[in-house]
């Protein structure tokens, strides 16, 4: 299932360069949020529930709203026609009464590894129909501007002192209807409005703060490193710190018993992968040492970049939460963007907890690579 490759990935750096992810931005106009796309989607859903299915012109108008238009521009490394097809397919199943039997068959099965990509959209829109009145009130009465303000205040609690002086460009959050996710890229946040409702007021603030944390991390990395890097081991470490540190805001503890609209099978996969993190870190260490010893070629070494499972959420949570639990949250904050220090703090916490410790060779490699990326060095 392709979905698992990006599942829970609120990623900003993939495809944009590890140390340049805050430099590509989409110009922000007007307020710091837009609910236009979600409201138009809900209007179409209301009409469909009343017996009038959307026309081609209705779909063109929906996808031309600022939120969807911006999303397709920012997420241009994926196929926008596939996104549109999945949205339309899920909408038709959820809101077309003639397809009720198909809908019932899909929602009767919890979302899992074998679910088709479009099933995630279908199930999310099914939930929209089930709570339609509550959602309609939510998108018309919630103070989304206040949510953004609180998220900006919240994220600073998880950043080094003085982070509020960093040159963070204005960001906008677009509330859309798609799969049950939040995403960020090019300085813009995209949040599924049903997931926003599901998260609740505090969860939504924390979810957006998570996305803002990624943008601040981009600034911290750009200030420290002046060149990009394709070293596989460092890529894994960067992803793990990015997602693990941001997950302190909106997750905080593991294992988890709920992942939005995702079914128990995926929750179990997620938790199992978290508990398997010591083996993943050992693999990262082994691949790196094997490459440095000449036992693996460059192509084989690239597998090290994949030692950040769920795009860094599970493995990163393991590393970051261990540091927090053993050394305190400030120890996590103090090494944000400083990846050699992050590895050292992890080792310190791991020794204290009796968990897997990176080899000296691995520690030295990360330090050497990062040193070479400092300003003025080739």
Q: Is the pTM of this model over 0.85?
A: yes
What is the chain's mean pLDDT, rounded?
90
Structure tokens at 278: 């010591």
Give the pLDDT mean for 82-106.
95
- Structure-token pair, residue 48: 């469909």
Contact present, 26 and 188 (Cβ < 8 Å):
yes
Looking at residue 120, its pLDDT comes to 93
- Supply the DSSP symbol for 265: H
pLDDT for 79: 80
Following DSSP, what letter does each residue of 318-336 receive, concatenated? Answer: HHHHHHHHHH-HHHHHHTT
| H/E stretch holding 184 | strand 182-185
| Contact between residue 123 and residue 111 where contact means Cβ atoms under 8 Å apart | yes
Average pLDDT over residues 161-180: 92
List, as one string, the DSSP characters of 66-111.
Answer: HHHHHHHHHTTTS-HHHHHHHHHHHHHHHH-GGGHHHHHHHHTS--
Cβ neighbours around 351 below 10 Å, total = 11
Calculate mean pLDDT across residues 170-176: 94
Tell how strand 172-176 and strand 188-192 pair up: parallel
Structure tokens at 289: 């040492």
In this predicted model, what pLDDT tens digit does every residue of 321-377 receive, in sequence order?
A: 999 999 999 999 999 999 999 999 999 999 999 999 999 999 999 999 999 998 655
Can you give the pLDDT at residue 110?
79
Beta bridge partner(s), residue 33: 173
Given a cut of 80, whether residue 215 has pLDDT beyond it is: yes
Give φ, ψ of 175 to 5 degrees.
-95, 120
For the record, the structure tokens of 246 come out as 């941001």
Residue 182, beta-bridge partner list: 191
CA distances from residue 246 to 27, 77, 116, 243, 251 in whole angstroms, order as listed: 24, 24, 28, 5, 9
Assigned token pair, 192: 């599924």
Contact 42, 194 (CB under 8 A): no
CA 140 remoteness from chain centre: 26
Note the pLDDT tens digit of each residue in 58-84: 999 999 999 999 999 988 767 889 999
CA distances from 313 to 9, 289, 304, 307 (A): 8, 24, 16, 11
Q: Write out pLDDT tens, residues 6-41.
A: 344 433 333 334 554 444 555 444 579 999 999 999
- pLDDT score of 11: 39
Q: Residue 259 above 80 pLDDT? A: yes
Q: What angle do CA 353, 210, 145 make, to 5 degrees?
A: 150
CA distances from 328 to 322, 331, 341 (A): 9, 6, 15
């Amino acid at each position: 299932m392709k979905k698992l490759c990006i599942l829970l990935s609120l990623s900003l750096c993939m495809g944009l360069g590890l140390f340049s992810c805050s430099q590509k931005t989409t110009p922000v106009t007007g307020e710091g949020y837009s609910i236009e796309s979600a409201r138009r989607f809900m209007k179409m859903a209301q009409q469909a529930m009343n017996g009038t299915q959307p026309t081609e012109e209705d779909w063109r108008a929906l996808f031309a709203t600022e939120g969807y238009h911006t999303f397709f521009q920012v997420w241009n490394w994926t196929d926008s026609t596939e996104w549109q097809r999945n949205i339309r397919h899920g909408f038709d199943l959820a809101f077309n009464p003639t397809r009720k039997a198909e809908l019932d068959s899909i929602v009767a099965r919890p979302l899992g590894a074998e679910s088709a990509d479009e099933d995630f959209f279908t199930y999310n829109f099914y939930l929209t129909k089930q709570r339609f009145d509550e959602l309609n009130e939510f998108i018309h009465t919630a103070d989304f501007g206040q949510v953004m303000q609180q998220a900006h205040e919240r994220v600073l609690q998880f950043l080094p002192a003085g982070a509020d002086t960093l040159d963070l460009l204005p960001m906008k959050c677009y509330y859309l209807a798609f799969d049950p996710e939040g995403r960020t890229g090019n300085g813009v946040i995209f949040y599924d409005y049903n997931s926003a409702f599901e998260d609740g007021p505090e969860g939504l603030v924390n979810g957006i703060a998570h996305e803002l944390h990624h943008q601040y991390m981009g600034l911290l990395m750009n200030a420290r490193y002046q060149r990009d890097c394709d070293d596989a081991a460092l890529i894994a470490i960067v992803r793990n710190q990015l997602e693990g540190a941001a997950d302190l805001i909106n997750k905080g503890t593991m294992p988890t018993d709920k992942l939005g609209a995702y079914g128990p099978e995926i929750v179990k996969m997620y938790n199992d992968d978290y508990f398997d993190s010591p083996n993943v870190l050992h693999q990262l260490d082994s691949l790196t040492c094997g490459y440095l010893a000449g036992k693996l070629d460059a192509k084989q070494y690239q597998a090290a970049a994949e030692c950040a499972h769920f795009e860094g959420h599970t493995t990163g949570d393991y590393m970051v939460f261990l540091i927090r639990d053993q050394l305190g949250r400030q120890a996590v904050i103090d090494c944000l963007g400083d990846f050699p220090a992050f590895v050292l703090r992890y080792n310190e916490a791991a020794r204290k907890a009796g968990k897997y410790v990176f080899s000296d060779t691995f520690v030295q490699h990360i330090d050497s690579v990062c040193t070479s990326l400092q300003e003025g060095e080739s």
